[in-house]
Amino acid sequence: MAVLSASTIFAPGREPPKSEIIQFLDMIQGTGLNPAVVKQTKAALDLVTPASETYGGLVLNDPDPTKNGYYYRAGAAWVKGRGFPDTFAVLTSIGGTANAITASTEAGVNPADVLCVLLPDPPGTNSPGTVTLALNGGPAVPVRAASGSNLAAGDIIEGVGTLFFRAGGEWRQLFSSATGATFDHQGDYAGGTTYTEGQVVTGSDGKWYQLKDPSATGDDPVGSVTGAWLEVLAAAGVADGAVSFAKLDTGLVVTTSETIAGNNNDITIPTSGAVALHVGTARDFTTVAAIKAIPDPTKMTRVGLLENGREGEFVWKSGDYAGRVASDPYNAFYIANDNIAPTSGAYVRVWGGQRPPVTWAGVLMDNTGDQSAKVQSLLDQHGSIFIPNGTMRLTSPLQHGDDCYIQFESTRAALNAAHSGAGIEGKNKLTERRFFVTIESGMIYGGGSLSYAVDMLSTTYGKLLDTRLYNSTVGWRNGGTGSQGAYYNEARGVTISSVTTGVSNGTLGNDIKMFGGSIKDMAVGTEDNDNSSVLYDGVAIETFTAYGSRVSHSGAESAHIRLMNNRYENPSTSGLYASAIAISIASAGQSCQVGGNYIAVVATGVADSGSGTNVYGN
């Protein structure tokens, strides 16, 4: 079969057969089956669960350079395949002179990406003066010693391979090739061999010895009579207990609680006690428990937490933090130390005051366990929270106070309310009113016998924005008890489905508004009972078995219900026993305004059995 292309399939004047179009679309789709996830750090990559296990990953700029490179998926985790290429290059096509070297990198290697090069066969031995290296016909770049000084004569030797590393706009030689410039080990000492200055041998006692004299023959380094040999790293005996903490550097602490330590350089000590050295004032830890176990936090005042979802920087602060530590049992903001009482200090998270992610308190977003206590603790402390993508499972209502903002990352972030009652509600809602509450994005659904997905009973100035509510008796409730009413609440772009009643506004529900969004698969879409100043505008109300909107008012409170520009429709042509709008208002002084609505495929459009003043124009 010929290779298909857009120009051949859709040539002018040609009607392409469906089989060719399908084949061409399959080819296009096949080019996008293996996308890549690109992140700055490995920790950020670990937060991503791709749509398919065929995805690749790239880590570009992790603080730990060993984590940068290409990743693949294995066992539902990111596994490093290899680092980035071209950071090291073996030079070819070597020419020029020892003081003006020319060479090339291998094909496909960009010299600008190379950080270290091996010159395997220098074209000569350099003389005093400037040494340069030109790659791939580019400019001649200076070559200097590792310290930054000019190379000495003989630092580059003809035929002796040497390494250069990039330092800013120049190359530097890692080690001089001159005699004695490197660790020139000659093996075990041999009596008949003539050794030269700087060479190292292993003596009969297993120790290393370096020759100090210009040359030596037959002078055994073990018990040398001339003193020509110098023992390398001679050991010194130290009695037990002779070294005290007072003699150690003030930034050095020895402990058995961690594995390795500090100043961004790990030092492994292979002992059965898993001894670790904490050196300096900063390091990273993988768990909260490890930070708690630091022997003396006053000597390690700044630490990093790398635990997945809880990443951040903590600073040791002296003072009485006992109250704040007690109110933060899951260590979202404060970490006490096992060796110093919180009345004397604690590690405090460094952050900018943004809405804290629930994962800071150790909340799991994998729809397992009971995360209720952790997320409630965080909400109690800060008043607002951020819920990342994933599913957070709760077994008790999430209760907010005043000035609360619950922000979901997107509609892929969910709250599984696996319990009865309400998914989200105000604290003490039967006796106290809550003010200024916003819930944005996400999904809230009942994983058990949920009564209300979001209950704004006794809530004033509440907002529900672009949120999906489903699988509960009532999606969104407003109203009050006693003298505690619900005022000035609104929903925008909210989707409610698989409920008995979509929106329920009861007694003392005043100035409640719903703009846009939809309510589907329920008995009653919206129900308003003895409340006032309610508006539904532009809402799609579909697949209802009893009423699209039901308005009932028998109390003395003024009722002003407006049903405007909504869509009432049952997609099925069967079951036409449902009414789109049912109105029952006892007093002629009350009003229900109905206008601009689209009503289709229902048994009854508007059923008005009340005495109120109603205006129709649908």
Which are the contacts of 243, defined by CB distance < 8 A and separation ≥ 6? none
Mean pLDDT of 82-93: 78
- Say yes or no to pLDDT of 134 above 90: yes
Which are the contacts of 527, defined by CB distance < 8 A and separation ≥ 6? 501, 503, 504, 505, 547, 549, 550, 552
CA angle 576, 577, 580 (to 5 degrees): 85
Percent of the chain with pLDDT over 70: 84
For residue 494, how many C-alpha atoms fall within 13 Å in the half-sphere facing its CB? Answer: 28
Nearest-CA neighbor of 513 among 486, 544, 546, 543?
486
By the 8 A CB rule, do 175 and 163 touch? Answer: yes
By the 8 A CB rule, do 59 and 66 touch? Answer: no
By the 8 A CB rule, do 599 and 618 touch? Answer: yes
Position 88 scores a pLDDT of 82
Domain with CATH 2.160.20.10 in the chain: 424-617
- Say yes or no to pLDDT of 373 above 70: yes
At position 607, the amino acid (one-letter code) is: A
Mean pLDDT of 105-120: 77
Position 572 scores a pLDDT of 57
Position 86 scores a pLDDT of 60
Provide the pLDDT confidence category of residue 351 given band limits of 50, 70 and 90: very high
- Say yes or no to pLDDT of 94 above 70: yes
- Please tell me the distance from the alpha carbon of residue 514 to that of residue 549, in angstroms, as a whole number: 13
Tokens encoding 76: 């539902």
Alpha helices in 333-464 (DSSP H): 372-382
Mean pLDDT of 429-439: 92
- Summarised one tens digit per residue, pLDDT across range 261-271 is 333 334 444 43
Matching residue, tokens 């405090």:
348
Position 431 scores a pLDDT of 87
- Please tell me the distance from the alpha carbon of residue 595 to that of residue 565, in angstroms, as a whole number: 6
CB atoms within 10 A of CB 587: 16
Position 248 scores a pLDDT of 41
**Model confidence, pTM:** 0.57
- Tell me which fold the domain 424-617 belongs to: Pectate Lyase C-like (2.160.20)
- Say yes or no to pLDDT of 519 above 60: yes
By the 8 A CB rule, do 52 and 72 touch? Answer: no
At position 31, the amino acid (one-letter code) is: T
Provide the pLDDT confidence category of residue 108 given band limits of 50, 70 and 90: low
For residue 324, how many C-alpha atoms fall within 13 Å in the half-sphere facing its CB? Answer: 18
Mean pLDDT of 97-111: 82
Backbone torsions φ then ψ of 319, nearest 5 degrees: 135, 180
Top pLDDT among 532 and 271 is at 532
Greatest mean pLDDT among 40-54, 225-239, 252-266, 488-502 lies in 488-502
Pairing label, strands 613-617, 282-285: unpaired
Mean pLDDT of 118-127: 92
Q: Which residues pair with 504 in a beta bridge?
A: 477, 527
At position 596, the amino acid (one-letter code) is: G
For residue 231, how many C-alpha atoms fall within 13 Å in the half-sphere facing its CB? Answer: 12
- Please tell me the distance from the alpha carbon of residue 414 to that of residue 387, in angstroms, as a whole number: 8
Among left, alpha and beta (phi > 0; psi -120 to 50; other), residue 538 is: left
Position 579 scores a pLDDT of 82
For residue 265, how many C-alpha atoms fall within 13 Å in the half-sphere facing its CB? Answer: 4
